[in-house]
């Protein structure tokens, strides 16, 4: 009579008695689970637990990404506030009204004559500040726009309008600083 594979491996010294007992025990356990039909329930519960663990990990990763994004937005907003406050140009005698468009509304800020002239020429810009609006230099406005492209900056265009050759009023230029 031929020896079983297990007996042959033991005789050749490729396996030991302890591994053989462990393999037999596992084999009997598998046969028992197949007879009772509980093997599927164990696997299903393991799969559900694994699925829940993966879903929780994905959810936690998404929450962490959102928190990081919010923290980044807060940091950018703080930088913009600091830049605006450090470079703000204050008007001593704010008696001239400068008007600009924010969205679909016309807003106004009171400035002195020197600031009004520089705003009209496009050398200064107006931005939102915690206490209303602030006048800042154009390079500072560009730094703010680099950090947040959708931040509100109002700046006068520095280019003159194009005139037609056959315009009858071409000789009558309207000054930029005309007050109505």
Tell me the pLDDT tens digit for each residue of 62-104. Answer: 999 999 999 999 999 999 999 999 989 888 888 888 888 888 8
Give residue 59's pLDDT band: very low, low, confident or very high (50, 70, 90): very high
State mean pLDDT over 98-112.
Answer: 88
- The proportion of the chain whose per-residue pLDDT surpasses 90, expressed as a percent, equals 23
Q: What is the pLDDT of residue 70?
A: 95
Which contacts qualify for 81-88: CB closer than 8 Å, 24 or more apart? 81/129, 81/130, 83/140, 83/143, 83/144, 84/127, 84/129, 84/134, 84/136, 84/140, 84/144, 85/129, 85/134, 87/136, 87/137, 87/140, 88/129, 88/134, 88/135, 88/136
pTM for the complete prediction? 0.56
**Does residue 7 have a pLDDT over 90?**
no
Domain ranges of the chain: 5-36, 89-155
Q: Which residue reads 């093997």 in tokens?
A: 39
State the Cα–Cα distance between residues 80 and 146, nearest whole angstrom. Answer: 10
């Amino acid at each position: 009579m031929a020896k079983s594979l297990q007996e042959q491996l033991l005789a050749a010294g490729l396996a030991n008695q302890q591994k053989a007992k462990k393999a037999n025990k596992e084999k009997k356990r598998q046969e028992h689970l197949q007879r009772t039909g509980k093997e599927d329930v164990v696997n299903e519960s393991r799969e559900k637990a694994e699925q829940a663990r993966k879903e929780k990990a994905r959810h936690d990763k998404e929450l962490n990404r959102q928190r990081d994004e919010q923290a980044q937005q807060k940091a950018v907003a703080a930088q913009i506030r600091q830049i605006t406050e450090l470079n703000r140009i204050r008007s001593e005698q704010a008696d001239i009204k400068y008007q600009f468009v924010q969205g679909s509304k016309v807003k106004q800020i009171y400035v002195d004559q020197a600031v009004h002239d520089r705003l009209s020429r496009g050398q200064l810009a107006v931005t939102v500040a915690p206490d209303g609006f602030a006048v800042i230099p154009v390079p500072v406005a560009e730094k703010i726009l680099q950090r947040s492209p959708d931040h509100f900056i109002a700046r006068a265009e520095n280019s003159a309008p194009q005139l037609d050759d056959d315009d009858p009023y071409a000789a009558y230029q309207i000054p930029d600083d005309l007050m109505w």
